[in-house]
Amino acid sequence: MKIATFNINGINKRLNNLMAWLADAAPDIVCLQELKATDRQFPATALAEAGYEAVWKGEASWNGVAILCRGATPVLTRDMLPGDPSDRQARYIEAACNGVIVGCLYAPNGNPQPGPKFDFKLAWTKRLIAHAHELWSSDLPIVLAGDFNIVPEPRDIYETTFYKDNALIQPESRALFNQLLDQGWTDAIRHIHPDAIVYTFWDYMRNRWERDAGLRLDHLLLSSNLVRKLKNAGVDKAIRGYPGASDHAPAWVHI
């Protein structure tokens, strides 16, 4: 089983790119972020024609998350991160697909920091940690996948001082990511590639793609019963070079 996460950065704008990648990579489960589409604008028919059923939570112009399942219908279990009923942003969706519970997330960026957006980022991630603990306690096979908007370690960002004040690399952000790992979750990319430089995001500005000036923001965290079955993990980096590409590339695991 191949499980992938892809911040598509506008699903309708980049639908051709998404379809080309689906046809080439043939993932069984896909977590999508930044749909930037309402529920009614989600291209369910086109995806079904490509062999993928889906559940999704849209939002006009911003955010939006979806889970695609090839050859099966995902069973929606949650479309909101618990812990704050006032939070209506479309940033989390969860479903059962092919015997795996999949949590798809698009965490807040948190910039500028300090400030209310950074405070919201930290509070949202703490809610994710609390929910992840409940999921972990279930002993089910689970993957938490998506754009965490956290660069876990200094080696997960190109050498630069440009991001020194950015919410993505602040000690508070990294500490919360480590809290997830301390629960027992395994960072699949780092598990398979313990010493490699791996990026999943290249900003459109300043030729960062051409210079390979990237960041690792997109992660797949696995429960222990999936880690035992983990065969490989990687990033389909070439997708970032497509005409009109998202600024992210798909990250994936083989179970």
116-149: pLDDT as tens digits: 999 999 999 999 999 999 999 999 999 999 999 9
User: Any idea where the domains of the chain sit in the sequence?
Assistant: 2-254
Report CA torsion sign: 234, 203, 8, 17.
negative
Q: At 17, is the pLDDT very low, low, confident or very high (cuts 50, 70, 90)?
A: very high
95-112: pLDDT as tens digits: 999 999 999 999 999 999
Report CA torsion sign: 39, 107, 189, 199.
positive
Q: H or E element: which one contains 65?
A: strand 65-70
Q: Which CATH number fits domain 2-254: 3.60.10.10, 3.40.50.970, 3.30.1180.10, 3.40.50.300?
A: 3.60.10.10
**Amino acid letter at 1?**
M
Strand-by-strand arrangement of the 186-187 sheet:
75-78, 92-97, 100-106, 142-147, 218-222, 186-187
CA–CA gap between residue 149 and residue 94 (Å, rounded): 18
